[in-house]
Structure 1
Amino acid sequence: MSKKSNRRDFLKTGTLAASSFFIVPRHVLGKGFRAPSDKLNLAAIGAGGKGWGDIRNAWNNGAENVVALADVDPGQCQNALKQWPKAKHYFDWREMLDKQKDIDAVTISTPDHHHGIAAISAMQMGKGVYVQKPLTHNIYETRMLTEGARKYKVVSQMGNQGASNPGQHKMKDWFKQDLIGPVSQVYVWTNRPVWPQGIPVPTDKPALPATMSKENWDVFIGPADYVDYHPLYHPFKWRGWWNFGTGALGDMGCHLIDPPFRVLELGYPTEVECSVGQIFLEDWNPEYIPEGCPPSSHVQVKFPKTAANDSEMTMVWSDGGIRPFHPPQIPADEPIGDDQSANGVIMIGTKGVMTCGTYGLNPKVYLNSGEKIEMEEGYNYGNPNIGMPEYGHQTSWVQAIKAGFNSPEHKKLTSSFDYSGPLTETVLMGNLAIRSYQEAQLIEGKKVFEGRKKLLWDGDNMKITNYDAANKFVKRQYRDGWKLI
């Protein structure tokens, strides 16, 4: 399907496919099951960079087939094109889903603004979906994907590979043993962004890369507002612009907030408040602010008690290199979080603290008594794929697709949308506050405070209850020709 193809016709085709598509094309064991010896036909939506790693890990050295690759810029996905020369290459993922009927499952590793619409389209056609973090660009899309995976009965997984790291599961074991007691305070931080943020919107119009056409750039823009090509957007720096990305919080939040979310069995937060780093430009123009993510942010999110954690809890996020200080239980000469303390998590309980780095690495407990506890060597919580790349995160997803939607293998996935959906909503709740705060810088007088105050959240109804202007950031308006189904 070309860029100008009728989207309605595409959706009709997709709906028809969903009604006639069976996960099991041969060696049938029963509806919804596939013989373990059968190979899945995999396709990648976004095949460069992380996309190449995701589809390669799911392919598992030829254990599965890679039959199609969709990427707007072949110059960025040469590794994938060389790895699978027989796979059909498409510039538009919609055309791939429309034309190629042998696809069983897709990995989606595009810029954030394509995640939701691509995943919903694939799920409607009965295809398993592996979606890079954050699950979507906004809260509404995340809710639609969470509900869509159940509705269409497809096996799903988000690409926060630390969810399959045994360190996170050891942390959960420690917490269940009541080593640190109820947790009332959590600190999460990152050294991101490592790309430009808080900079002026570019006004020059450089030529497109030789590997991209105007039509392909239009596909890259997809559901976002149209802007001309610029290297500050493609191939990597899109993360710093709200039109395409979700900033430092969206990039790292699903990795770093995952451990406390999993350990404390968190759900929807109840309130959020933030502040952001100021931007100083010689030629000041406030219109720069809402377009780009800030250079740093400080976000506080609150949660009620849970079945696992008998305490209300406040989570404090910081990015831009701002990190919390050592709690008294951690010796002054020891790092917190990662080895260099650049990224990490601290959970503060009544009996001690628990800490880890990115992906749940280096988990430790420091008791108030002065005792230090570390994970024993060889702990793997029974994951048969633990020695594989990224803890077998993609391989486990493939195995669950073969076993079927109602299988034990699917229920054991560490980041299916039932889990990663609410996690992502928590991450994006911080961005909702950040964007409201940024917008308030354009408002004069007393109204400035309205966008900077504590925002109260009704998670079931996806609504800020005390500042309606913030609710426009719950979902986005899609460009003509694109819509979330």
Structure 2
Amino acid sequence: MQTNEKENRRDFIRKAAVIAAGVSIVPRHVLGGKGYRAPSDMLQIASIGVGGMGRSDVNNFHKSGKANIAYLCDVDKVRAKDSVSNFPKAKFYTDFREMLDKEHKHIDAVSVSTPDHNHAIQALAAMELGKHVYVQKPLAHDVWEARALTHAAKKYKVVTQMGNQGASGDGVRQMREWVDAGLIGDLVEVYAWTDRPVWPQGIAWPTQKAPVPATLDWDKWLGTAPYTDYINKLVPFNWRGWWPYGTGALGDMGCHNLEAPFSIYGLQYVKDVQASVGSVYVDEFKRGYFPESCPPSSSVTLTFPKTPKTKGDVKIHWMDGGIQPPRPDELEPNEKFGDGGNGILLIGKKGKILADTYAANPRLLPTSKKYKEVKQKYARVPDGAKGHWAQWVEGCLAGYGKMEMSAPFEISGPLTEALLMANLAIRGADLRINNKYPGRSLKLLWDNDNMRVTNFDEVNQFVKRTYRPGWEVKYNF
């Protein structure tokens, strides 16, 4: 049942009951006491993946005061323990398919906080039922999946939000106001960087299998990924460094550190992307090649077509694994560059903006200079980045198209695609080195309409991967 149908039915039942009783309508807060909120006015949320970041997500939805955590789903009962304890009235499932099949009539919205490789199959299943969705970053594992989720959000008219909370922060809005006021002039280029990975990358897949914990449903955890024997320390965190499940440092931090330049300048799909990757040596003479593992570090340059806010193409330089761009001359020797390990730097013809992770703490360089005061132009999200979850809850209650979201799939879908395109170049650069092509870097040319790399066919296999039988992600554009 769609939200409008639910509201009409509730209105009918309320009015009929009042007429039958021969009394006038009494406000809910009078019936239930001050601050009372009827269950019918609460957003009924089903959460898939409720340990780790998922635990944080359900807690933040609950803090909005307008959401009921009605259903919990997780394949790992140990990881789910805290959420089950915090929401004892929520019905618990280990299979999201069973939960949606049995409970969809009672669910308004679904949050997805599972590993990257299962985002698309779970989010699409919810949207096809007309449910609003909140999906942790990155939105998807593959370029094709990100495009499908972006298209589906519009097709099914559901309220969407990706879990990059910095998009709701004050920092990105302050940066946009400075750019709009011309304080840094025309954009020249952008740098973003991270100290991730903080998990193993550039290593061989372990040869020794391990016993599956009794509390983990390994087959359902694998989901769309190829079947393989369980190994120690993959779950719950180190999966990020393995291509079948994670998307590396870019997937983890790119959505946070590239969101600001992406939204400020209205960027969409990339034109081309080039990358070089760090090497791992198995001995002092031979470079190791580990196709299942993301490399230990990478440097990527993405080129975007010009937008109404730029004079020409936009180049964004991404660096991970501890690599950082040169310190700006305007930065004092002892001033922190970004937040130390992560940062964003916008370089214009007249000035520069430096910010921390999530676009927090933006400052114009040099920080010692006095700049003209810029009037606030963009409305702030209540509680800033902490209000990211509540904003989605409010949007779902208001209905599709009634309220602006900070990270709807309309924006976060193309952003995720750009990051996954960068990963194509990273994987391609790794292939080039292993296959002894000339050079250690690679530039990919992208046919956006057909979602295809036109000059290095080997990487097109990663645009849309082959799914495990029974776990196929299906969508018709």
TM-score, normalising length: structure 2: 0.88
Partner residue in 2 for 1:10:
none
Q: Give the corresponding residue for 1:40.
A: 43
Q: 1:175-194 alignment to 2 at 5 Å?
A: 175-194=179-198
Return the alpha-carbon distance in structure 1 between the equivalents of residues 175 and 294 of structure 2. Answer: 32
1:259 paired residue number: 260
Separation in 1, partners of 2:372, 2:444: 38
How far apart are 1:231 and its partner, in Å? 2.5
Aligned counterpart in structure 2 of residue 55 of structure 1, from 44, 55, 58 = 58
1:122-156 per-residue CA deviation (whole Å, 9 max, x = no partner) reads 00001110000000001100000000000011110
Q: Is the 8 A contact 1:170 1:375 kept in 2?
A: no
Question: Among 196, 199, 207, which residue is 1:195 paired with?
Answer: 199
Residue in 1 that maps onto 2:270: 269
Residue 88 of structure 1 is matched in structure 2 by: 91
Deviations 1:89-138 (A, max 9, x none): 11111111111131111110000000011101100001110000000001
Other structure's SS at 2:434 match = coil
Native 8 Å contact 2:280 2:287 kept in 1: no
User: 2:329 corresponds to which residue?
Assistant: 328
CA contact (8 A) 1:183 1:348 kept: yes
Matched letter for residue 349 of structure 2: T
- 1:438 and 2:425 aligned: no
Comparing 231-240 and 61-70, the one that deviates more: 61-70
Name 2:363's counterpart in structure 1.
Answer: 364
Distance 1:99 1:288 in 2: 46
**In the alignment, which residue of structure 2 is the partner of 1:424?**
416
**What does 1:270-309 align with in structure 2 at a 5 Å threshold?**
270-282=271-283, 288-309=289-310
Paired letter, 1:416: P
1:134 is paired with a residue whose SS is coil
Q: Structure 1: give runs of 5+ residues left out of the alignment.
A: 1-19
- Report the Cα distance in structure 2 between the residues aligned to 1:43 and 1:346, rounded to whole angstroms: 38
The answer as to whether partners of 1:138 and 1:475 remain within 8 angstroms in 2 is yes
TM-aligned CA distance change 1:56 to 1:328, over 3 Å: same
CA distance 1:326–1:286, change in 2 (3 Å): closer
* Cα separation, 2, equivalents of 1:272 and 1:422: 15
Alpha-carbon RMSD: 2.6
1:208 is displaced (CA, Å) by 1.6
Query: SS of the residue aligned with 2:471?
Result: coil
Secondary structure at the aligned position of 1:25 is classed as helix
Matches of 1:79 and 1:472, distance apart in 2: 39
> Helix, strand or coil for the counterpart of 1:290?
coil
The share of aligned pairs that are identical, in percent, is 45
2:34 matched residue in structure 1 = none
Structure 1 counterpart SS, 2:172? helix
Answer whether contact 1:23 1:126 (CA < 8 A) is retained: no
Is the Cα–Cα contact under 8 Å of residues 184 and 312 in structure 1 kept in the other structure?
no
Q: Residues 275 and 398 from structure 1, CA distance in 2 versus in 1: closer, same or farther, beyond 3 angstroms?
A: same
Structure 1 position 26, deviation (Å)? 4.1
Q: State the SS of the aligned residue for 1:289.
A: coil
- Range 299-308 or range 105-114, more displaced: 299-308
Q: Secondary structure of 2:427's match?
A: helix
Q: How does 1:69-468 map to 2 (within 5 A)?
A: 69-101=72-104, 102-212=106-216, 216-282=217-283, 288-338=289-339, 341-366=340-365, 371=369, 381-383=378-380, 385-386=382-383, 390-407=385-402, 409=403, 412-444=404-436, 448-449=437-438, 452-468=441-457
* Distance in 1 (alpha carbons) for counterparts of 2:89 and 2:372: 47
Please state whether the residue corresponding to 2:190 is helix, strand or coil: strand
Q: What is the letter of the counterpart of residue 269 of structure 1?
A: V
Instruction: Quote how far apart the aligned CAs of 1:326 are.
Output: 1.3
**Hey, what's the Cα distance between the residues in 2 that align with 1:184 and 1:143?**
28
Query: Do structure 1's residue 482 and structure 2's residue 471 form an aligned pair?
Result: yes
| Cα pair distance change 1:465/1:251, threshold 3 Å | same
Q: Tell me how far 1:372 sits from its aligned partner.
A: 5.2
Give distance in 1, aligned partners of 2:283 and 2:376: 54
C-alpha separation in 1, matches of 2:91 and 2:2: 21
CA distance in 1, matches of 2:284, 2:330: 47
CA distance in 2 between counterparts of 1:123 and 1:237 reads 29
Matched residue type, 1:318: M
What is the TM-score with the length of structure 1 in the denominator?
0.87
Q: 1:457·1:465 contact (CA, 8 Å) conserved in 2?
A: yes
- Per-residue CA deviations over 1:31-85 (Å, capped at 9, x if unaligned) read xxxx996011111110001001111111226532111111001101211010011
* 1:442, distance to aligned residue in structure 2 (A): 3.1
Superposed CA deviations along residues 383-428 of structure 1, whole A, max 9, x for unmatched, are 45226xx431111111111111121x1xx10100000001111111
Aligned mates of 2:390, 2:5 — CA distance in 1: 18
What does the per-residue CA deviation read over 1:159-202, in whole Å, with 9 as the maximum and x for residues that have no partner? 00000001100100100001101112111100000011111101
CA distance in 2, matches of 1:236, 1:47: 14
What's the CA shift for 1:301? 0.9
Bigger Rg over Cα: 2
What amino acid is aligned across from residue 394 of structure 1 in structure 2? W
Instruction: Tell whether the 8 Å contact from 1:275 to 1:437 is kept in structure 2 after alignment.
Output: yes
Secondary structure, aligned partner of 1:100: helix
Q: 1:365 Cα shift? A: 1.2
Cα distance change on mapping 1:334 and 1:451 into 2, 3 Å: closer
Paired AA for residue 425 in structure 1: E
Would you say 1:64 and 2:99 are equivalent positions? no
Q: Which moved more, 1:72-81 or 1:454-463?
A: 454-463
Q: Contact 1:242/1:291 (CA < 8 Å) preserved in 2?
A: yes
Q: Which moved more, 1:54-63 or 1:69-78?
A: 54-63
Shift of 1:466: 1.6
> Unpaired segments of 5 or more residues in structure 2?
12-27, 29-36
Asked whether the equivalents of residues 189 and 346 of structure 2 are also in contact (C-alpha less than 8 Å), the reply is yes
Are the aligned partners of 1:57 and 1:394 in contact in 2 as well (CA < 8 Å)?
Answer: yes
Rounded Cα–Cα distance in structure 2 between residues aligned with 1:405 and 1:61: 19
